[in-house]
Structure 1
Amino acid sequence: MILPLALLSLIPLILPLAVVSAEPVYYKPVVLWHGMGDDCCNPQSMGRVTELIQKVLPGVFVHSVQVGETRQDDHEAGFFGRVNDQVEQVCEQLAGIPELADGFNAIGFSQGGLFLRAYVQRCNRPAVHRLITFGSPHGGVADIPNCMNPVDLTCRLMRSAVRFGVYTDYVQHRVVQAQYYKDPRNLQGYLDHNVFLPDINNELGVKNETYRDNLSQLDYFIMVRFADDSMVKPSETAWFWAYDENEDLIPLDKQDMFREDWLGLQRLGARLRFLVSPGQHMEISDDFLENEIIHPYLASPETSAKHASIPAISAPRFISQP
């Protein structure tokens, strides 16, 4: 078919309009916080995660948290320092990044997930929409984590320092892992002397309503446990499980923390998700990250829970046995 000359003359006008009218795809920015023994910019860890996210979500802005001026500072800050100060520093850091001004999704790895939760509860400006944590010690640890790299001198120094007394002022204000250590044989000592976790879990006598309000405003809170985790004890701490004074492992829904809704977890309801990743601590396959995290929780341009298309949970919200 031959188009009339008059119609042909309109094509240059029509085509630009068609191109201009296409809406660009926009994804919420993503913030990463690495775990113990890692740093912000390791190409094999946070770099790999960033690359995969940006491959699946072209053009998305990804920021990896760095504590300190250099990568080495950041690595050491994963072992030594005051967690409360580090969280405050990251609150200021994220508030100063223009790309995050309208909010972001966050992924925390191991202790980085716990610290991102602290960010949500204490600052949350800019706001986190979806919080995803991998193997994070939300319920504390009953033993100081082993070193992922046995020749990591900083990690070995950390474990040596803890031997002086995990709840002493000296250790509590210097060793990061001591600040989420929850000794089931000395729960009163934990409540009295641990400078971070009892507060961030709202376990103290006076409850912080801001913590509950901020966390309950998340679109989704996704907690991933590693099926064969032997580094973090108990591994179920990734789902807020914790030992009681009899050293019995108590699921979240059997704890006062949930029943009395100290943190807003009950209020989150179906927006609270429990996932299991195969393998040991921090063994995350690209397949799991892409298909269980990025596509269902980060890929939708819609960030509001009432608009987002998220697959239904195939298992009960609370799983009695991991």
Structure 2
Amino acid sequence: MVSTPLTGSHLAFACNKLAQDPKLKAGYNAMGFSQGAQFLRAVAQRCPNPPMKALISVGGQHQGVYGLPRCPGESSHICDWIRKKLNSGAYTDAIQKHLVQAQYWHDPLNDDLYKQHSLFLADINQERVVNETYKKNLMSLEKFVMVKFLQDSIVDPVVSEWFGFFKTGQAEQTETLQESALYKEDRLGLAEMDKAGKLVFLATDGDHLQFNREWFNAKLLPYIR
């Protein structure tokens, strides 16, 4: 289980440790919480040895965020002003390399800027070029489970937890994964995985990462047994 991020050399270190563990030789299941979920997805895409069998994303922001915790831009002029100001520094090399949250900041109003300067998210989401190895590795998952928190006040937009996001060019209307160019162009193989029944979309009526043991045992535990 991962709740804290792995970036750069940390990701390489983790992949090396996984490859050296004889207990994982036949494969393993992984569960990531919040930002840890998209970093585990990077592990699945970049490090196929040993193979990850099931990936469970609990509140992960797979299309990134364009909002502040408990301060969604579309419902507050102040929040909207703040998130727009953040763009002035979010895509500089120094911020991208040293601030984890900047690595999954996704500005739908400046899509070209995001694609050009996002060091992590734009790479694993195949925004610049399609890496067929990334795609093949992700498609090798037996299950990719995504949990969305219906009352989430941390992730904006919350549909990012199901791989959705704002429609390009504005920051109010959202689109589902299935409506997105990522899915239609199938740059990650998600459309094919969806048709094969490998994608699982779960929802729970709580704030970010708020669930009880009964829900966990009933909904998530079966995928990691």
Distance in 2 (alpha carbons) for counterparts of 1:182 and 1:213: 25
Cα RMSD for the two superposed structures = 1.9
The match for 1:298 is 224
Distance in 2 (alpha carbons) for counterparts of 1:89 and 1:141: 26
Shift of 1:298: 2.4
Secondary structure of 1:33's counterpart equals coil
Shift of 1:164: 6.8
Q: Structure 1 residues 197, 145: closer, same or farther in 2, change over 3 A?
A: farther
State the percentage of identical aligned residues: 39
Check whether the contact 1:144–1:177 (CA below 8 A) recurs between aligned residues.
no
Structure 2 unaligned spans of 5+ = 71-85
The match for 1:210 is 133
TM-score, structure 2 as length reference: 0.87
The match for 2:181 is 256
Shift of 1:144: 4.5
The match for 1:34 is 3
The match for 2:22 is 98
Task: Report Cα offsets for 1:132-173 as digits up to 9, x if no partner.
Answer: 000101011002446xxxxxxxxxxxxxxx687111111111
Task: Report Cα offsets for 1:208-237 as digits up to 9, x if no partner.
Answer: 001111111111110000111010111110
The match for 2:165 is 242
Distance in 2 (alpha carbons) for counterparts of 1:277 and 1:97: 34
Match of 2:123 among 199, 215, 239: 199
Secondary structure of 1:139's counterpart equals coil
Check whether the contact 2:69–2:153 (CA below 8 A) recurs between aligned residues.
no
| Aligned: 1:187 with 2:114 | no
The match for 1:272 is 199
Q: Which has the higher contact order (CA 8 A, sep 6+)?
A: 2
TM-score, structure 1 as length reference: 0.61
Distance in 2 (alpha carbons) for counterparts of 1:250 and 1:185: 15
| Aligned: 1:286 with 2:213 | yes
Distance in 2 (alpha carbons) for counterparts of 1:273 and 1:262: 19
Distance in 2 (alpha carbons) for counterparts of 1:142 and 1:198: 14
Count of equivalent residues = 208
The match for 2:61 is 137
Structure 1 unaligned spans of 5+ = 1-31, 36-77, 147-161, 300-322
Check whether the contact 1:130–1:221 (CA below 8 A) recurs between aligned residues.
yes
Moved over 4 A (4+): none
The match for 1:232 is 155
Q: Which has the larger radius of gyration?
A: 1
Check whether the contact 2:45–2:135 (CA below 8 A) recurs between aligned residues.
yes
The match for 2:146 is 223
Secondary structure of 1:267's counterpart equals helix
Check whether the contact 1:83–1:179 (CA below 8 A) recurs between aligned residues.
no
| Aligned: 1:84 with 2:8 | yes
Distance in 2 (alpha carbons) for counterparts of 1:266 and 1:235: 20
Check whether the contact 1:145–1:177 (CA below 8 A) recurs between aligned residues.
no
Distance in 2 (alpha carbons) for counterparts of 1:143 and 1:214: 30
Shift of 1:245: 1.1
Amino acid at match of 2:186: D
Shift of 1:99: 1.3
Distance in 1 (alpha carbons) for counterparts of 2:61 and 2:208: 12
Which range moved further: 123-132 or 84-93? 84-93
Name whichever structure is richer in helix by fraction: 2
